[in-house]
Structure formats: C-alpha cells, structure tokens
Amino acid sequence: MNKESFGKDFKWGVSTAAFQIEGSHDTDGKGLSIWDVFTAQKSKIKGTQDARKACDFYNLYKTDINLIRSLNIPNFRFSISWPRLMPNGIGEVNQRGIDYYNRVIDFLLECGIEPWVTLYHWDLPYALELKGGWTNRDIVSWFEDYTELCARSFGDRVSNWMVMNEPSVFTGAGYFLGVHAPGKSGLTNYLKAVHHTTLVTAAAGRVLRNIVPHANIGTTFSCTHIEPASLRYRDQMAAHRVDALLNRTFIEPLIGMGYPQSDVPVLRKLDRYRSGNDDRDMVFDFDFIGLQCYTREIVKASVFTPYIHAALVKAERRNVDCTDMKWEVFPPSIYHILKKFGTYEKIRKIIITENGAAFPDKVVQGKVMDEQRTKYIQDHLLQVLKAKNEGVKVDGYFVWSLTDNFEWAEGYHPRFGLIYVDYDTQERIVKQSGLWLRDFLSEV
C-alpha cells in the first residue's frame, strides 16, 4: 500500500474540534457553551477536568498548523465554536470571534493547507440550552442564522463544509443518557433532539448551498459495524435494531428514506414532533457524507434494556485487543461500514472524516513510540483501500486527531493525537505515527 494506490484526488487530512483543543473559554468575548457549563459540574468528567485551557490552540494555532505542514498533511478539519461567534447563540455577533477564525483560515491557506470546517461539534451556546437547546424546534432558525454568518464570513476562502458532527452521539449521550452536555435524559428529550437535528442538518445544507454555491458540502456520522453475539434469532434481531438505531437513523431521512421506524419501533414516536413539510425539508443532496468509524460492537438480545431490547457485549469481556477507550481494535469494521453506506445510491461520495485510536503513550528520551497507533492506522487504511478497490466511492481519510486533546467526559486521559501534548508546558512532540504518516504522504 502506498499513497498512490488511493488515487491522486484522494483527500488526506487530520481532524479536530474547537472545544477539545482551543481553550480560551472566555477570551475575546466568547459566550458559554453547554460543555463549559457541564465540565464545571461535579463528577461529570473523569478527574474533574475541564477544557478551559485544553491544547491552547486558540493561541498556538500557528505552531500546530506549522506542524500539520511539516507532516505533509494537506487538509485540516476543525470546527467553529458557535458561542465564540454568537455569545448568546442568536442576535449579537462577536467580531473578535470572527477575526480569530479568519486568522486560522488565512494561515492555513498561507501554508497551503485546505480548511475543512465543521459547523457543529457539540458546543451549543448555553444561552440556547436555557431555551431548550436541541429540544426546541426554534433551533432550526437559530442554526440557519449561525450558518449564514459562517458562510458569509468564511465562504470566500473555505470550500469544504460539514454541518454536523456525529448526531447519534450528541443526541444519545447528551439528551438520552445524560452523560454528555447538556446532561439531559429520557426518551422525550432524545426524540425531539433527533428530529430537530435532522431538520437542521438539511436546512443548514441549503443555507450553505445558497450562499457558497460552489462549496463542497457534507455532514458527518459516527458508524460502527454491528454483529450479533450468536446465531440465535433474537440476537440477530437485536443486532439489526441496534444497527438501524446507530447507523441508519440520521442518514436515511436526509436521503429521502425517512426514519427506520419499522426496524426500530420506538422511533415511531418521532411522529409526534413532525409537522407540515418536514418529510420534504429533512432531505438535502449533500456532496459528500463523512463517516467516522473506530470499532465494532457485538450485540445480544436483552429484555432489561428499555425501548431497544438489546445490549452491547463489552469488548473488555471478549478477550480482544482494546484501545484506551476500551474499544475493540477491529479494522474490518471500517470496510463493512464503507460497503454498507456504499449501497445507498443517493450518497454521492464518502470521506472518512475520523478514524484513530487512544493508547497509553509515553515520552521516552524525547520520543513517543506509538507502534499500536501506527499499526491501527495502517490496518484501517488497508481496509479503506479494499473497499475503494471494490468500487465504493470513498475519496478521503482524516485521522482523529492532530494532537492529544480533551476527550469529553473522559477528560485528558485518552491520547488520540499524532502529536503528543504535555498539558503542563504545552510542549508538542510528534509521535512515531505522525512521522510514519509524514513519510507515507511524501511518497510520490
């Protein structure tokens, strides 16, 4: 395998998210996000850590962009913090926030690196959460205004846009289980959040298309290959339901298929929140779909789990190789996912917008020898290539992540970076995986 086997138009990149790297939580007029508030609450985050400083990307963006350049990575995915641009989520615009992203974008372009902007990577303005956040249908117009501001401010230089990051994770963890911000739980909150997210995704796609007509517009989904724990019919049906819930709930309405309600009966309750032209308005013809795949899950039937009657068989109990997130290392998952999404005719193009792994990296004599991560990336790339060679329209691969960063409720313990961060000194050390990628990408 070499770079050329993927074709000359294949997009190689690295991904990040504002809240996980920027820090400067209240600098230059930024408003509070739901994650600022969530991390300030007791026992929500392992080790009671917060992201007030994180990787200090807000100040060190030039250092990190220079590192991206030194690793020969031509594309950089980052997200915009909505409360940095609009401290109250609606209304007043914070020019200093816009200036900051202008500096980042301009420096990327100066370094010959293409910006890929995510509009929403989970840091909702807290002022909007006080109005119900994703459970309030007004979020459709709030988000349209925010999208318009981003498109008008940056659309002259940014061509690649992604509306959402992983809706199934932020609605599930944040509005059903309550383990992510804003910490809401229960079926009603979850279903409203799901439906409004779907409406917003399509609506924001339309706003981008109108304002930046030649943009390359996408949105991203987390996806995981699901297998039944046994050949028993009830385990197979449980796996089928979990697959529909995790992998199909958000993509299918966007491409005009509606929610997978016959496979996940509880989603029928979504009809309560549907109105007027929703079926039409949920559809948008994205230029690409971003897939983010890390592992596989094994599923068994469970009468104790409400609504879905299925449970995951944890990787730790299966005697398999795991990452620091306790996720199984299973490279064929990304192949199966690509084949699965490849069968949707309405998907024009797929880009792997995140893939990577957390391992317990250590600095030894100034070096980080992360063989496991290097192998993880190589093995996943082989599976992406296999799918591509079999005709799946996969056109890019972005590693999660550039640097170690704030891993949400897990705090700083899991290290996902190609670059090690010493959080006390903010020193960066390129890991062996980063050096491998640099050499791989420099091959002609």
Active site residues per annotation:
166, 354
Nearest to 399 by CA among 338, 427, 441: 441
Q: E-assigned strands of 151-215?
A: 160-164
**Residue 16 lies near ligand BGC (rule: CB under 6 A):** no
**Residue 354 lies near ligand BGC (rule: CB under 6 A):** yes
Question: Which residues, other chains included, contact 147 with Cβ-Cβ below 8 Å and sequence gap of 6+?
Answer: 119, 163, 203, 204, 207, 208
Query: Which residues are 288's β-sheet partners?
Result: 218
Query: In this chain, which stretch among 162-170, 206-214, 254-262, 274-282 interacts with ligand BGC, using CB under 6 A?
Result: 162-170
Is residue 361 within 8 Å of 370, Cβ to Cβ?
yes
Tokens of 57: 């990307």
**Residue 298 lies near ligand BGC (rule: CB under 6 A):** no
Nearest to 369 by CA among 319, 436, 298, 283: 436
Name the minimum Å distance from CB 271 to ligand BGC. Answer: 29
Residue 214 assigned ligand-binding role: no
Residue 400 assigned ligand-binding role: yes
**Residue 17 lies near ligand BGC (rule: CB under 6 A):** yes
Nearest to 413 by CA among 58, 47, 10: 47
**Residue 370 lies near ligand BGC (rule: CB under 6 A):** no
Residue 41 assigned ligand-binding role: no
What's the Cα-to-Cα distance from 201 to each of 59, 187, 303, 319, rounded to whole Å? Answer: 31, 21, 34, 39
Distance, in Å, from the CA atom of 128 to the CA atom of 172, rounded to the nearest integer, reads 19
As a whole number of Å, the end-to-end CA separation of the chain is 13
**Residue 292 lies near ligand BGC (rule: CB under 6 A):** yes
Is residue 63 within 8 Å of 107, Cβ to Cβ?
no
Closer residue to ligand BGC, CB minimum distance, 17 or 119: 17
Rg of the Cα atoms in the chain: 21
Residue 210 assigned ligand-binding role: no
**Residue 198 lies near ligand BGC (rule: CB under 6 A):** no
Closer residue to ligand BGC, CB minimum distance, 82 or 301: 82
**Residue 374 lies near ligand BGC (rule: CB under 6 A):** no
Residue 420 assigned ligand-binding role: no
Name the minimum Å distance from CB 268 to ligand BGC. Answer: 27
Name the minimum Å distance from CB 415 to ligand BGC. Answer: 11
Question: Which residues, other chains included, contact 396 with Cβ-Cβ below 8 Å and sequence gap of 6+?
Answer: 10, 11, 12, 13, 75, 351, 352, 353
Of 90, 169, 179, 255, the one binding ligand BGC by CB under 6 A:
169
Total of chain residues touching ligand BGC, rule CB under 6 A: 11
Name the minimum Å distance from CB 368 to ligand BGC. Answer: 19
Residue 134 assigned ligand-binding role: no
- Which H or E element spans position 382? helix 371-389
Query: In this chain, which stretch among 4-12, 164-172, 247-255, 271-279 interacts with ligand BGC, using CB under 6 A?
Result: 164-172
**Residue 398 lies near ligand BGC (rule: CB under 6 A):** no
Q: What is the DSSP letter of 69?
A: H
Residue 307 assigned ligand-binding role: no
Distance, in Å, from the CA atom of 123 to the CA atom of 237, rounded to the nearest integer, reads 35
Binding residues for substrate: 20, 121, 165, 294, 400, 407-408
Question: Where on the chain is the footprint of ligand BGC (CB under 6 A)?
Answer: 17, 20, 165-166, 169, 222, 292, 354, 400, 407, 416
